[in-house]
């Protein structure tokens, strides 16, 4: 079973970015604001945007690998 691009690409983006904000909240509540774990989590969220933009570019460049959606 192969998914079309308009389903697979957004699904991959959502799956890759889920729960970052929740991770920041948990790290702050468990370890406090001055902890290394909190800093690492916040930096991870800041890295998320450029990584997601690269993933969007990859998804758009590989659009031909996916089956075409028939418009009926």
Give the global pTM: 0.59
- The answer on pLDDT for 3 being more than 70 is yes
Per-residue pLDDT tens for 25-41? 888 899 998 888 888 88
Q: Output the CA torsion 57→58→62→68 (10° steps).
A: -60
Q: What is the mean pLDDT of residues 58-67?
A: 86
Segment 34-49 mean pLDDT = 83
What per-residue confidence (pLDDT) applies to 61? Answer: 92
Q: How far apart are CA 60 and CA 38, in angstroms?
A: 33
pLDDT at 70 over 80: no
**DSSP codes joined into one string, 22-38:** HHHHHHHHHH-TT-HHH
The percent of residues above 90 in pLDDT, for the chain, comes to 6
């Amino acid at each position: 079973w192969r998914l079309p691009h308009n389903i697979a690409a957004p699904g991959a983006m959502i799956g890759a970015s889920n729960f970052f904000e929740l991770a920041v909240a948990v790290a702050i509540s468990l370890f406090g604001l001055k902890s290394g774990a909190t800093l690492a989590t916040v930096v991870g969220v800041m890295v998320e945007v450029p990584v997601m933009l690269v993933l969007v570019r990859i998804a758009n460049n590989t659009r031909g690998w996916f089956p075409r959606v028939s418009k009926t």
